Amino acid sequence: MEKTKIKHIDMEMSKIGLGTWAIGGFQWGGTNEQEAIKTIHTALDKGINVIDTAPGHGFGKAEEIVGNAIKSYAREEIIISSKTGLNWKENRQLFRDSSKAHIHKDIEKSLDRLQTDYIDVYHVHWPDTYTPFYETAEALNYLYNEGKIRAIGLSNFSPEQMDIFREAAPVHAIQAPHNLFERDSENNVLAYAEEKELTAFFYSSLTRGLLTGKITGESNFKAGDIRLSEDPKFQQPRLEQYLSAVKQLDHLAQDRFSMTVLELALQWNLQQPGSSVSLWGARRPHQLQPLEKLGGFKIDDDTMKDIDEILLRTIKSPIEPDFMAPPTKYDI
């Protein structure tokens, strides 16, 4: 397993991390806790040492599952990445809340669910434009100085917002959606991270399953699955474009590397410039089998160009993941 480090902090991480949005169940048609725990154990046993989670992943359920799963492992060997900055009402409607009062309550709940006394990387999940960034930054800086968190991260922030935040607190990492199909972060966020020497966590590395090669036009999703009603990529006519691209990418991967499109997509993320961790939202142990082949091949420059040509030729109306952004408390 390839490793990277958060600069200025003695924290070595596997370049593939396990994401737990799907494991939390919410927006994914539910969860199987025992399968989720087995998946976490399999990931750790295969050399993944980064687990990314959040209270918003299943209203605390994902954090609870992670806490139960890691009890039998040495805590100091696991990098837990979690988040704050989202709250929810009784009707389970998520909204942004990065107020100091919420953050101090939120971390105590997360620590309790995770069964630990510190979180390695603590991100602000989404920018809350109704709370002054300096207030949010001061709250995280306090937790950082107290030792309850080891590194501060910002998720889904623009470079301009990160600059404001950094006036009141250090930032060590960012988190952004980044995969073969969603590359808007290349325009500014990733360049900013490289310039400022911030570790980048890429989420949705397989575009919510599209890049696994397992989804077809006849795939059925459970009620409550975000792909069923909210993700434009899974609605026609765009779905046909994306599936066509997946098919072509799969043929390319097999012809040149004897690999699958899933392995190609993850390897592509691993080869992105800068210090980065690619989060993989596997839900079942067998889904992690491709880990053994990663790093065993490199995507050459000519193949990188061919990949881009396939995307440009096939996807006529690309969609970025803006639909995932939760509302502010004044928008619900």
Summarised one tens digit per residue, pLDDT across range 136-169 is 999 999 999 999 999 999 999 999 999 999 999 9
Residue 51 falls within a domain, yes or no?
Answer: yes
The pLDDT of residue 223 is 82
pLDDT digits (tens, 9 = 90+) for 189-225: 999 999 999 999 999 999 999 999 999 988 888 888 8
Residue 109 falls within a domain, yes or no?
Answer: yes
Supply the DSSP symbol for 328: B
Confidence band (pLDDT; 50, 70, 90) for 182?
A: very high
The pLDDT of residue 226 is 86
CATH of the domain at 203: 3.20.20.100
For residues 111-124, give the mean pLDDT: 98
Residue 72 falls within a domain, yes or no?
Answer: yes
The position carrying tokens 């082949």 is: 293
Residue 129 to residue 193: CA distance in whole angstroms: 21
Confidence band (pLDDT; 50, 70, 90) for 35?
A: very high
The pLDDT of residue 296 is 79
With beta carbons less than 8 A apart as the criterion, state whether 72 and 45 touch.
no
pLDDT digits (tens, 9 = 90+) for 234-285: 998 899 999 999 999 999 999 999 999 999 999 999 898 888 999 999 999 9
Residues 6 or more apart whose CB falls under 8 angstroms from that of 185 comprise: 176, 177, 178
Residue 236 falls within a domain, yes or no?
Answer: no
Residue 209 to residue 324: CA distance in whole angstroms: 15
For residue 151, give its domain range. Answer: 3-212+266-294
Distances (CA, A) of 153 to 41, 71, 74, 182: 25, 25, 24, 21
> Which carries the bigger pLDDT value, residue 43 or residue 319?
43
Residue 324 falls within a domain, yes or no?
Answer: no
The pLDDT of residue 108 is 98
3-state secondary structure of 41: helix
Give strand pairing partners of 272.
Answer: none
Residue 195 falls within a domain, yes or no?
Answer: yes
Q: How many domains does the chain have?
A: 1
What pTM did the predictor assign?
0.94
Distances (CA, A) of 193 to 43, 66, 155, 273, 294: 27, 28, 12, 10, 24
Residue 243 falls within a domain, yes or no?
Answer: no
